[in-house]
Structure 1
Amino acid sequence: MTYRLYLFYLSAIFSICSCANSQNDAKAQMSFPGTEIGRFAAAWFESVNSGETGTLEDYGILKDGWDAYHASMIALAQKNEGITPYLVSYFTDQTIEIYAKENLGGYVRVVLSYDADQNSIYAMSIKKSFEAKDYPLQYGLEEKHVIALVEKIAEELKSNYVYKNDGKKIADGLLARIDTYKKIAQGDLLARTLTKDLVAISNDKHLQVIPPSLESEVIARFIGEDDSEDVTDEPSVEINMLDSNIGYLKMDRFTDNAFFEDQVAETQNSLKDAKAIVIDLRQSGGGDGKAVSNMIAYLINDKIVLKDGQKIPAKNSVANRERPIYILTSDSSKSAAEALAYYAITFGFAKVVGEPTAGAGYLVDVFELPHSFFLVNSTRTSFDKGEGWQGKGVIPDIVVKASEALDIVINEINKNR
C-alpha cells in the first residue's frame, strides 16, 4: 500500500479567522465558510475558548436549552487551554464538521448543526480524532471522480467481503444509489455519506470510507509500526480510584503497541488494593484484537481458548482471583470492545452491565481507493455465520441505560461488600 502526504491551502471562498497551526502550534490562518453555518462555527469556537456565551446568544443557545451542555464544552476547552480549529472537514447549509486540536491534548472533530430558518441549534459534539491534512480534491470532486470511487468500492466488496453473496448485495445496493453521490464535491462529505449508506445497506458497522484527510487514521489503525510524530492515536486507558475503593478503567481504544501494553500492566499496581474493578467501554470504538487478548490475560484465573483457537494464559491478574469485575457497555461499544464483553460473558470472568453493543463483529482490512481514499472492508470472521456478535451486539448480563450503568454497578458493589 502506498501512502502520500498532501499539504494544500483551502480555496478563497472562505472567510478568514486566526487560529493555531495543528502541526507546530504557531499562529496561522484557518478558513470558515462564508455562510450562516460558517459564522455559527466561528462564534462557537470563540465562545468555548473565551468562556463566554454572548457570541452564541443570537443563535438560540439559551432558547433551546443548550446552555448547560455548552458549559461542559467550555470546561473541556479550559482544561485543555483552548481548542484550536485548523481545517474544515465538510459543511452543508445546516451542518459543519471541523478538525481541531486541544492545545494540551489530542486531535478532535467538532460537529455543529444550526438551522438559520428556525434560529435553532440542534447538534454540538466533540469527538476524538486523528491529525487531518488538506488534499487536492477536498472541495473539488467531479462526477468522474465520484463514479471511479463508488465503482472501486463495489469491486472490493464483491471480491473481498467476508461472505461473497453478501458482498455482492451490498455492492449492488451502493451502485443503485450512485446518482445521489455524483453532485457531492466535498471529499469528506462524500466519505461520510458513503459510510452511512454502506452501514444502512449491510448492517455492518465496520464498513467505512476514509477520506485522504484522515490518512493518519489509516496509519494508526492498520500500520501499527509507524512511529511518525505526525500520527497520533490517543488511547486508551484512564485509571482512577472511585469512592468506596472501587478501581475504574475507562478504555476508549484498544491499541496494539507498547504504550497500551504498559498502560494495561500499570493497572496491576494502580488497582492492587481496589475491592472491585470497573472497566468502562461505553465510548470504546474498538481497536486491535491483540490488545484485547492482552487485557483478558490480566482478568482471568486460568488459561482460556478463544473461538479461533487462540490460547490466552492468565497473567498476575488485577482481578486478584477474588475481586468482582464489571464491564460497562453502550450501543457505541464496538468491535474489540465487544470482543472483551463477549468473552467476559462466555468465560464468566466479568459481569457486563449496560446496553447491547453495536454489533460490529467481523475482522477488517483496509484497501486503497482512487484519489487516495480508503475502504475499511470486513474480510474475515472468527465465527460461523450467525455466531458471535455481528449484527446483533453483545447482550449484557444486566441490561440498563448506559448513562445509569456506573451508578448501578457501584451500588451493587457496595451492597455486596
Structure 2
Amino acid sequence: MPTNEHIVEQALERITTGYVFPEKAAVVEAEIRARLAAGAYEGLDGPVLCETVTAHFQEVCPDKHLRLLWTDEPQSPAPADDDGGHAAFLALLRAENQGIHRVERLEGNVGLIDLRLIATAIEGASAIGAAMQLVAHSSALVLDLRACRGGSPEGAALWCSHFFGDDQVHLNDIYDRVPNTTRQFWTSAHLPGPRYADRPVYVLTSEATFSGGEDVAYTLQAHGRAVVVGATTRGGAHPTSRHAVAEHVLVTVPTARSINTVTGTNWEGVGVVPDIRVPADQALEEALKAAARPPAP
C-alpha cells in the first residue's frame, strides 16, 4: 500500500490537470498541500483518509463530485488501465438492469418508471426503449428519480428525447476542460422506444437524487416538459471521471460542466427545486393527484 502522502499527491495531480475550473483546482492544491505538510493525514487508515481528505476538499471547494473514495474492490492504478471508471460503470449498469428498477401501470392508467441509474445511450438503448414501450399507452407518466444516483450525460439526453416531438430541441451543452471543447446535446432523431410527447410527465425527486438523475429532472423542467414533484436534489452538475490512485482508493474529478440552453446555468450546489415541494416519501401521491386533475382550460 503506498503512503498516505503518495495517495494525496496522486489525487492532487489528477485534480490540477483535470478539474473543470483550473483556478479552483489551484486553491484546492494549495490548501491540501498545507494540510499534508502539517501532518493532517499521517497514520489515518484508508477509509478515514478518504473521508478526511474529502471533507477538506469540500471545505475549500464545495463541489459534491470532488471526492476521495475508498473501494473494497481492488482497482488497478496502472496508467494503461485507467479509463476514468468507464468499464466499472458499464459493469454496474449490467448488474442493475441499465438502471431501470421497475416499470408499472398504476390506477388511472398512469405509467411509472422507477429509474436508479442513467445508462449510457449505447448500452442502455434497448432497456430504455423497452421501458418506454411498456408505458406507451398510458395517460400520464411518473418518472421516479428519487433513488437515482447518477449516470451518463448521453443517456440523460436519450431519456429526455422521448418526451419531445422531434429532434429539433437543443437540450443543453457540456463544456469539457480537456480538450477545451463544448458538446451540444439535442433530442435524438432515432429513438429505441416510442415518443411520449403529448401527455403529462411528472418527475419525482428527493434529497438523494444526484448528478445524471438531476440532469434529467432539470432538463425536462427547464424546457417545460415535466412537473417536478418532491424534495430539492443534492446539487451535483459536473460530469466526472474516476481514477485509481491506489489499489483501494479512487479520486473523482469533475472534468466538465453542464450549461442548460434555457437557463444558461445548471443545478450545481443548489439542486433541482421542485415545482411541487413535498417530502420525498409523499411525492408519488402528490404526482398522482396532479395527474388526476382535469387539464386547465
Question: Which bracket does the TM-score occupy, shorter chain normalised?
Answer: 0.7 to 0.9
State yes or no: 1:292 paired with 2:153.
no
Partner of 2:187: 312
Partner of 1:403: 281
Secondary structure, counterpart of 1:172 in structure 2: helix
Identity %: 23
Partner of 2:144: 280
Greater relative contact order: 1 or 2 (C-alpha under 8 angstroms, separation 6 or more)?
2
Deviation, 1:150, is 1.3
Partner of 1:183: 43
Match for 1:172: what amino acid? A
Partner of 2:213: 337
Secondary structure, counterpart of 2:214 in structure 1: helix
- Rg comparison, structure with higher value: 1
Partner of 2:112: 248
Secondary structure, counterpart of 1:286 in structure 2: coil
Q: Deviations over 1:99-136 (max 9, x none)?
A: xxxxxxxxxxxxxxxxxxxxxxxxxxxxxxxxxxxxxx
Q: Could you state the TM-score of these two structures normalised by the residue count of structure 1?
A: 0.58
Match for 2:124: what amino acid? F
Deviation, 1:234, is 5.3
Contact 2:68 2:251 in 1 (8 A): yes
Contact 1:161 1:378 in 2 (8 A): yes
CA distance change for structure 1 residues 175 and 306 in 2, over 3 Å: closer, same or farther? same
Q: Deviations over 1:35-58 (max 9, x none)?
A: xxxxxxxxxxxxxxxxxxxxxxxx
Match for 1:267: what amino acid? A
Secondary structure, counterpart of 1:182 in structure 2: coil
State yes or no: 1:195 paired with 2:54.
yes
Partner of 1:377: 253
Contact 1:221 1:287 in 2 (8 A): no
CA distance change for structure 1 residues 227 and 153 in 2, over 3 Å: closer, same or farther? closer
Match for 1:163: what amino acid? F
Secondary structure, counterpart of 1:279 in structure 2: strand
Matches within 5 A, 1:14-413: 137=1, 145-178=3-36, 179-185=39-45, 187-215=46-74, 222-224=85-87, 232=95, 235-237=98-100, 238-256=102-120, 260-303=124-167, 304-308=169-173, 309-313=184-188, 315=191, 317-319=194-196, 321-371=197-247, 373-383=249-259, 387-413=265-291
CA distance change for structure 1 residues 225 and 207 in 2, over 3 Å: closer, same or farther? closer
Between the aligned partners of 1:257 and 1:302, the Cα distance in structure 2 is: 17
CA distance change for structure 1 residues 227 and 317 in 2, over 3 Å: closer, same or farther? closer
Contact 1:327 1:351 in 2 (8 A): yes
CA distance change for structure 1 residues 299 and 209 in 2, over 3 Å: closer, same or farther? same
Secondary structure, counterpart of 2:150 in structure 1: coil
CA distance change for structure 1 residues 215 and 221 in 2, over 3 Å: closer, same or farther? farther
Match for 2:203: what amino acid? I
Between the aligned partners of 1:350 and 1:209, the Cα distance in structure 2 is: 35
CA distance change for structure 1 residues 200 and 226 in 2, over 3 Å: closer, same or farther? closer
